[in-house]
Structure 1
Amino acid sequence: MKPNPTRSALLVIDMENGFVHPEGGHWIRFAQSMVPNCVRAVELARAKGIPVFFVKRLYRADGSDVELTRYPGWVAGGRACRPASTGPNSAQAPEGLRPQPGDYTIIKPRWSAFFQTELDLILRRLDVRTVILTGTTTPNCIRTTCYDAIALEYNTVVLTDCCSSHTEEIQRVNLEDMARAGAILMDSASFADYGPGTVEDLSAAIRARMLEEDTVPEPFRSEDGQVFWPDLW
């Protein structure tokens, strides 16, 4: 395992034929045009010692694991994201976005890369503090992963020209919302200069400040009189 001085990980989410290919059942209009930027980000991450996670969506042939809200579209759209096929509805990734030795593959059952997956466990084992998000779609899988990452105390970066939506307006407003929630927006050109210290470890900074100020948390008292002390660690 290479040294990872940035303590970061790059996530490539749902960049597979079912979403990227124009004939795919879940096709996203701007996904294909973002492939070169995603490939470049992956190459940069590997060169920097940043572990790369390919987060994929795979559906069973009978559709028993498809989201209930997506099932009608999955049937009508040609049953996308199946591992056994290689056509426009397959889970095959574009050239340059396929795992290499040392990369990780995560299979997610829903939108967020963290929902019922081992991603958080592996990131913590790798001592990762910052996640960098790329892929599709911005309002769904990127956004839910972003919010879960922040909730789990990861510093969260979104590479704006490495993720995609169905329209430019959807892309813009969702990026703005994620920024308001605390995500750091960066483009792939800026990512070329990414290194230790580019992103502040906010959780570590908060802990350091509390220790410096010798802050003692106030207990929480429930209505029945029970006392709960917050666990800072």
Structure 2
Amino acid sequence: MKKSIFLVMDMTNDLVSETGASAASYGVQVKNRGVLENTRKAIDAARKAGVPVGFVRVGFSPDYRECPPASPIFSKARDNGLFQLGTPGTETHPALGQTAADFDIVKHRVSPFYATSLEAILSANGIERVILCGVSTNGVVHSGARDAHDRDFECIILEDCCAGVTEAEHDHAIACLGRYATILNSDQFDFAS
């Protein structure tokens, strides 16, 4: 069995909850695609196979000291009170069942690797393969797969555990990601392999 980790990325209340800040965009796509249910089944399968789970969350200090003012993605976070660490919005959606045994990786940019503990976690645990899912497909999943690929990890993306703002955005990202990762549905992947 390859040493693997399952990264569940940006599945926070602000982004994926039906009552969160992004309910009208990501929330709709997450619900329509069954992303939370599919991801929970994949998390349970990973745990059963002994594969560690890492939750990656975007978040900023209460004063937004890490928030880049020129970023088209994050510049409005401060104005709208989004992604503030310590608030319910930056907590992992409860349907996913995050536990104290799971890795909790906080990021301040799109990539799960940039200025986070992720690379050290992968190295310390002898990880060879990274299984990824998250919201958004064209954001954190795309960035994470490319960065993992360039660090010589085998990459698997669980397509039915991802969503974009729109179906078209998700589909376009998945089409591009096939160059960097193997794309599978969660029921096609055996975590014990």
Residue 115 of structure 1 and its aligned partner are, at CA, apart by: 0.8
Matches within 5 A, 1:73-112: 73-76=76-79, 78-86=80-88, 90-112=89-111
Matches within 5 A, 1:190-229: 190-191=188-189, 193-196=190-193
Aligned to 1:128: 127
Identity %: 25
CA distance in 1, matches of 2:149, 2:168: 24
2:184 paired residue among 183, 186, 205: 186
Mapped contact 1:30–1:166 kept (Cα < 8 A):
yes
Mapped contact 1:26–1:80 kept (Cα < 8 A):
no
Mapped contact 2:137–2:173 kept (Cα < 8 A):
yes
Residue 71 of structure 1 and its aligned partner are, at CA, apart by: 4.2
Residue 55 of structure 1 and its aligned partner are, at CA, apart by: 0.7
CA distance in 2, matches of 1:61, 1:101: 23
Residue 120 of structure 1 and its aligned partner are, at CA, apart by: 1.4
Greater Cα radius of gyration, structure 1 or 2: 1
CA distance in 1, matches of 2:30, 2:116: 24
- 3-state SS of paired residue (1:61): coil
Mapped contact 1:16–1:81 kept (Cα < 8 A):
no
Mapped contact 2:5–2:51 kept (Cα < 8 A):
yes
The runs of 5 or more residues in structure 2 that have no matched partner are none
Mapped contact 2:92–2:98 kept (Cα < 8 A):
no
- 3-state SS of paired residue (1:83): coil
Q: Which structure's residues are more often helix, by fraction?
A: 2
TM-score, with structure 2 as normaliser: 0.88
Aligned to 2:63: 62
AA partner of residue 181 (structure 2) = A
CA distance in 2, matches of 1:56, 1:75: 17
- 3-state SS of paired residue (2:47): helix
Aligned to 1:166: 165
Mapped contact 1:19–1:31 kept (Cα < 8 A):
no
Mapped contact 1:6–1:50 kept (Cα < 8 A):
no
Matches within 5 A, 1:140-179: 140-179=139-178
Mapped contact 1:63–1:71 kept (Cα < 8 A):
no
Question: How many correspondences in the alignment?
Answer: 186
| Structure 1 pair 74–131 and aligned structure 2 pair: CA distance change class (3 A) | same
Mapped contact 1:16–1:56 kept (Cα < 8 A):
yes
CA distance in 2, matches of 1:46, 1:96: 15
CA distance in 2, matches of 1:166, 1:66: 22
- 3-state SS of paired residue (1:122): helix
Mapped contact 2:14–2:83 kept (Cα < 8 A):
yes
| Structure 1 pair 98–56 and aligned structure 2 pair: CA distance change class (3 A) | farther
The C-alpha deviation readout for 1:63-100, integer Å capped at 9, x for no partner, is 23223323443245x311223333xxx11222232432
| Structure 1 pair 10–71 and aligned structure 2 pair: CA distance change class (3 A) | closer
CA distance in 2, matches of 1:115, 1:79: 23
Aligned to 1:52: 53
TM-score, with structure 1 as normaliser: 0.74
| Structure 1 pair 184–24 and aligned structure 2 pair: CA distance change class (3 A) | same
